[in-house]
Amino acid sequence: MGDFMNDPIGWLEWTGIHMSPWKLIGLTGALMFGGRWVVQFVASRRHGKPVIPRLFWYMSLCGSAMTLSYFLFSQKQDAVGVIQNLFPSFTAAYSLYLDIRHRGWHRDRASH
């Protein structure tokens, strides 16, 4: 018996997909980090100017944290991936803090 988080997920085997829980976390984080641009695009189209909604920062922070944990704790353990995701995590956390401080906790509207 190996390490549960690095072993292939059993219920996915029938699909021919061999993916560990860590790989699933890493891919979900990468999709979330990339998907934030869709959120930003939709918000900007809606406002007719470039805006960054709070959801962008939440997706940045979660996506960075998930991919960072993949590169830190999975068998992959890649220093390039760690560095690539470490700095965006801090930037997203600080930007989210500034957004909440500037617009308040309960306001989730894009800046005008």
pLDDT at 85: 85
Helix (H) or strand (E) holding 70: helix 54-73
User: Got the DSSP string for 37-69?
Assistant: HHHHHHHHHHHTS----HHHHHHHHHHHHHHHH
Mean pLDDT by runs of 10 across the 112 residues of the chain is 70 74 91 95 96 94 93 86 87 92 71 47
pLDDT at 112: 46
